Structure 1
Amino acid sequence: MTWCSTKQTIQSDKELESENCSSIKRQSKPSEKVQHKDKETLEKTQKQLVGLQKKLKKLEKGQQKALLDDHPDDSEEGPESEDEDSIMFSSTIKPIEVIPIPEVQARPLRRVEQTPVEKRPLSPSATSPPLKSLKKPLLPVALADSVKLFLDVCAQWAESCWANVQIVPNDELDEGQCYEFTPQILGVIQRHSSTMQSRLIEPTHTQVVVCFGFRQDLNKTFHYKDPKTKTGYCKNLIIFNLISKTWFKDTEAQGVVFKQLFNPIPLETIALIWTLIDHCISKWHSGVFVQANFKEDNVSNFYKVSLADLRKWTTLNPTVMTNKRKKLFDRAFKKSGGITSGEPQIQLKGDAEERARRELEGHTGETDSEGDKHDDEASDN
């Protein structure tokens, strides 16, 4: 019994050992396959990296060659063999195009030597840069006649202001130096000069309230001196007041500085005044104030009709009409405080001269008279 049990134990041990060996063999075979696959993957990855490195070197050399075109003596790289892995990436990688960037330099303002400019209005005959176009017109396009009249004036006005101010932005410029007046500077000034509409509308509102009672039967007779009898054509006081407040406000106003353009007052200017008055009255047409904008679509027809009426009126008696417009200018110019360019006239003549002669009779100029004595006492006190 003992021998049999021992034999069975030995057999069971052998069987167990054989099972363990077979299991070890089964486990070792897959690990060897995994190691073999890992090795193949590693080698393939290394080949791909080598191919990529070669491709990157070619790209870098291609960029250097494009950037250094004026170095033709540089050696070129010879052809290299490419394996299958590098060929695989050649279809996906495109060469980088190098676009040359042009050099842009800021253009500084030029400084020019100039003698001090006397502050005086610019003559209308003086040359000035041509005024091509205005991004923001001073007046609606329908008022083309008035705009054309002042186009050159705008350029002259800007150039005159530039010369009078003598702009010196910092202490680096010496006396007698200033920036040159260029067409670009003229354009900047013109883009910020579109305030004429507001300067016309505001005084018109005030004058309309003073002169009219907003009656519907007066909206077509406002230009008469007497709207009820329709007499005194173009003599209503509001016309003179608006011309005076807009263009002859003071001695530096446009009508004073450029008086040769306002003497006589142009028909286009009078038609513009009529258009402004009608626009303001129309806001009260219904009896209640209704806000409306001064735009071309709203005023162009009335302006054209008004200008046609004025021209027709002028043909009735051109001489009288011209004299009336000259008188209108003289009144506005005098009210502004402007100085006429004519020679001063002698005031001591006629009766004034005779009175002065009688006062001097009987006086030698060396003795104290009673009147002189009283003047001395008054000055002492």
Structure 2
Amino acid sequence: MLLRDMTFVYPETGNSRKRHNPYRHPIIQTVINASFFRNKDDVGAVHYEHFSPMPIPIIALTLTVVECCINEWSDGIRKESSWDEEKYQTVYTSHVSALFDFKAHSPSNNDVLYQLQCDLLKDACKHAGVPPYPTPKLRRFPPGALEAVREECSEPTS
């Protein structure tokens, strides 16, 4: 079920209503913690400037690893798979695309992906036992700016 629509949807229960949150399954945080934030001396904690906010390529790589592991156990018995570059490069690229698509479809006043990136970093820092690092303020284009650029780029040049 995690792989349905590639968004790792996680149903949360609380306040007697059920929400389905894309990219919020705990396995994502678990893999990030184990891979980059095991303790205060791990790469994510030491080089926090490269993880603030959690980079989309790191999230996509994490999703690719989880997908590989799910595939290894798909029939209940572990079948070791190799990291076939061609196969998993396609999987990784599709996760990157899906994340950017998710970002593009966020409401303009609420960047859901950016909030996810910040939350993943905050929880990873907590796991590593380091204080949360400040995340840069999200910069936004003024209303109509992107449309103006698209129009300008689509005009034929003489």
TM-score over 0.5 (shorter chain): yes
Q: What's the counterpart of residue 274 of structure 1?
A: 63
Q: What's the counterpart of residue 220 of structure 1?
A: 3
Taking the TM superposition and a 5 Å limit, the aligned residue runs for 1:99-110 are: none
Question: Is the contact made by 2:40 and 2:46 (CA closer than 8 Å) also made in structure 1?
Answer: yes
Say which SS state the counterpart of residue 111 (structure 2) adopts: helix
Q: Which amino acid aligns with 1:332?
A: A
Aligned-pair distance for 1:288?
A: 3.0
Taking the TM superposition and a 5 Å limit, the aligned residue runs for 1:1-381 are: 218=1, 220-221=3-4, 223-226=8-11, 231-317=20-106, 319-339=111-131
Query: What are the superposed Cα offsets for residues 238-296 of structure 1, whole Å, 9 maximum, x if unpaired?
Result: 00111111111111111111101101111111111111111111112234321111230
Which structure would you say has the larger Rg?
1
Say which SS state the counterpart of residue 291 (structure 1) adopts: coil
What is the CA–CA distance in structure 2 between the aligned matches of 1:335 and 1:287, rounded to whole Å? Answer: 30
Q: Which TM-score applies when normalising by structure 1?
A: 0.30
Say which SS state the counterpart of residue 289 (structure 1) adopts: coil
Question: Is the contact made by 2:53 and 2:118 (CA closer than 8 Å) also made in structure 1?
Answer: yes
- 1:298 to 1:320, Cα distance in 2 relative to 1, 3 A: closer
What is the CA–CA distance in structure 1 between the aligned matches of 2:40 and 2:74, rounded to whole Å? Answer: 37
What stretches of structure 2 of length at least 5 have no aligned partner? 13-17, 135-158
Q: What's the counterpart of residue 152 of structure 2?
A: none
Structure 1 stretches of 4+ with a deviation exceeding 6 A read none
Aligned-pair distance for 1:330?
A: 1.1
What is the CA–CA distance in structure 1 between the aligned matches of 2:132 and 2:23, rounded to whole Å? Answer: 26
What is the CA–CA distance in structure 2 between the aligned matches of 1:259 and 1:276, rounded to whole Å? Answer: 22
- In angstroms, what is the RMSD of aligned CA positions? 2.4
What is the CA–CA distance in structure 2 between the aligned matches of 1:294 and 1:265, rounded to whole Å? Answer: 24
What stretches of structure 1 of length at least 5 have no aligned partner? 1-217, 343-381
Instruction: Flag the structure with higher helix content.
Output: 1
Structure number with higher relative contact order (C-alpha < 8 Å, ≥ 6 residues apart): 2
Taking every aligned residue pair, what percent have the same amino acid on both sides? Answer: 20
Aligned-pair distance for 1:300?
A: 1.4
